[in-house]
């Protein structure tokens, strides 16, 4: 379900601010909202399984550090101040009745441990699901959301970091951005010769050129869709390496606006909005900032480990399930890697929660691994600003991408 706390802030920092500005009721309010939401999910799950919610005797929970604190009713104020220390690192076992969860009152709720201030129990869930600490290959795991959480390493050593990717990769703060819901543009292809395009929307099996305009009913562009759009614009020469939209092209889809240019993705007659759906210079910029942060974090961790190439890239999270690996690398969301070794694994944090639910040994493993991972605070790394500036270019200002040979023009 959509996080019901969104009414108090779209991101974790604004929710933390809400508790700080409302010291008496803020935390209690946010905890109550999320517990009520979870109770709704419990009711749905029990109904679908034809059991009573009171028959549920065990539950596991993962989440980012701020959500972890809010769910448990722990004051999140320290997370809003450098060095962002969590109140607890170790896993927790709490009675359901003490949290107000409507399962068996004596049931235990197991909450996985936290790595650091902005690398939470959800990332630990990813770790025990993907087990990079048992592998010889050098693996970069990226859990993409409003915060990008990265883990790099193998059985010898693991590093983790977190970077603020902003909500652009989830479709927010873009003029026509939206969450991944019916009507959201999710796939795009641009003809590099004619600059005409075709796209598909969630909920419609056919591409736009296979439908009548009335059938399409596009409503906006979701996170995976914006990656596709900008990667295709880059391949077709509509977007330059710098992120600037090329205003010298001759196509009715391109037009000048107050701040730069915009490119029409869906004409008004194809949309449910009654207006053209476009991507503007500012939309491209928002994606540049997000992908630049991810790439910079990966490069700094690679340097710390003394490695210059990746054997495998794992894209985790709901967003990672739908991202096309080739187009993500065209934008430079991560350093060069053989595309056959770039995989999307879906909600690995949820997989880790289910593993921990069914396997008590994995809970102990999670506690151990969470303490063994070395966390890097990117915001205080002296190289971050330099790496970030270079990573703003598509796919990168300097770094080579041999695996994009023949895919992306020089």
- Main-chain dihedrals φ then ψ at residue 81, nearest 5 degrees: -130, 135
Q: Nearest 5°: phi and psi at 291?
A: -70, -30
Torsion angle of alpha carbons 243, 232, 286, 295, nearest 10°? Answer: -80
Q: What is the pLDDT along the chain (410 residues), one digit of tens a residue?
A: 888 888 887 778 888 888 988 988 999 999 999 999 999 999 999 999 999 999 999 999 999 898 999 999 999 888 877 777 888 889 999 999 999 999 999 999 999 999 987 789 999 999 999 999 999 999 999 988 767 899 999 999 999 998 877 666 766 678 899 888 899 999 999 999 999 999 999 999 899 999 998 889 999 998 889 999 999 999 999 999 999 999 999 999 999 998 899 999 999 999 999 999 999 999 999 999 999 999 999 999 999 999 999 999 999 986 666 788 999 999 999 999 999 999 988 889 999 999 999 999 999 999 999 999 999 988 888 999 999 999 999 999 999 999 999 888 76
Contact 72, 30 (CB under 8 A): no
| CA distances in angstroms from 157 to 134, 144, 233, 320, 378, listed in the order given | 10, 22, 39, 24, 18
Q: CA–CA separation, 266 vs 322, rounded Å? A: 21
And the tokens for 285? 């910029």
State the pLDDT at residue 2.
Answer: 83
What pLDDT does residue 171 have? 64
The pair of three-digit structure tokens given for residue 67, joined into one six-digit string = 């959500």
Q: How far is CA 271 from CA 132, 216, 276, in A?
A: 44, 7, 7
What is d(CA 339, CA 217) in angstroms, rounded to the nearest whole number? 33
Write out the two tokens for 397: 């200002």
Q: Among 249, 142, 239, which residue's Cα sits nearest to residue 193? A: 249
pLDDT at site 307:
95
Would you state the pLDDT for residue 224? 86
213 vs 207: CA distance, rounded Å: 11
Q: Which residue is associated with the tokens 């187009």?
A: 327
Distance from C-alpha of 15 to C-alpha of 77, rounded to nearest angstrom: 10
Q: What is the DSSP string of 267-310?
A: -GGGBSSSS-EEEEHHHHHHHHHHHHHHHHHHHHHHHHHT----
- Structure confidence at residue 410 (pLDDT): 67
| 227: CB partners within 8 A, 6+ apart | 169, 287, 323, 324, 327, 328, 331, 333
| Angstrom distance (rounded) from CA 374 to CA 371 | 8
Q: Which domains does the chain have, with CATH numbers?
A: 4-111 (3.30.420.480), 132-168+286-351+360-404 (no CATH), 177-278 (no CATH)
Distances in whole angstroms, Cα of residue 400 to Cα of each of 179, 324, 410: 33, 20, 11
Place of tokens 């971050």: 384
């Amino acid at each position: 379900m959509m996080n019901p706390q969104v009414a108090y802030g779209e991101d974790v920092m604004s929710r933390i601010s809400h508790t700080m500005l409302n010291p008496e009721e803020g935390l209690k309010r946010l905890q109550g909202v999320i517990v009520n939401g979870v109770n709704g999910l419990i009711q749905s799950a029990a109904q679908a399984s034809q059991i009573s919610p009171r028959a549920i005797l065990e539950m596991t929970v993962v989440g980012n550090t701020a959500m972890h604190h809010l769910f448990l009713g722990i004051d999140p104020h320290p997370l809003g101040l450098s060095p962002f220390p969590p109140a607890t690192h170790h896993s927790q076992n709490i009675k359901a009745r003490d949290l107000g969860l409507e399962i068996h009152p004596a049931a235990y709720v197991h909450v996985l441990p936290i790595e650091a201030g902005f690398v939470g129990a959800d990332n630990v869930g990813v770790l025990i699901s993907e087990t990079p600490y048992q592998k010889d290959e050098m693996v970069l795991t990226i859990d993409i959301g409003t915060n990008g959480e990265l883990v790099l390493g193998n059985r010898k050593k693991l590093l983790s970091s977190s970077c603020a990717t902003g909500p652009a990769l989830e479709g927010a703060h873009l003029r026509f951005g939206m969450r991944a819901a019916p009507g959201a543009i999710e796939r795009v292809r641009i003809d590099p010769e004619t600059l005409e395009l075709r796209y598909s929307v969630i909920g419609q099996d056919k591409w736009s050129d296979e439908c009548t305009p009335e059938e399409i009913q596009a409503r906006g562009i979701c996170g995976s869709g914006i990656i596709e759009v900008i990667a295709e614009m880059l391949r077709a020469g509509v977007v330059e390496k710098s992120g600037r939209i090329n205003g010298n092209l001759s196509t009715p889809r391109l037009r000048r606006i107050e701040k730069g240019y915009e490119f029409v993705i869906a004409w008004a007659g194809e949309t449910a909005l009654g207006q053209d759906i476009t991507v503007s210079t500012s939309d491209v910029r928002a994606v540049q900032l997000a992908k630049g942060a991810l790439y910079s974090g990966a490069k700094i961790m690679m340097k710390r480990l003394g490695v210059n190439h990746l054997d495998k890239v794992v894209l985790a999270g709901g967003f990672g399930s739908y991202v096309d690996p080739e187009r993500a690398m065209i934008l430079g969301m991560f350093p060069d890697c053989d595309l056959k070794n770039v995989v999307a694994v879906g909600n690995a944090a949820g997989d880790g929660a289910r593993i921990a639910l069914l396997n008590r040994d994995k809970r102990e493993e999670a506690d151990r691994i969470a303490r063994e991972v070395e966390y890097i605070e990117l915001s205080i790394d002296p190289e971050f600003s330099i790496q970030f500036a270079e990573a703003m270019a598509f796919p990168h200002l300097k770094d080579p991408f041999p695996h994009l040979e023949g895919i992306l023009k020089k």
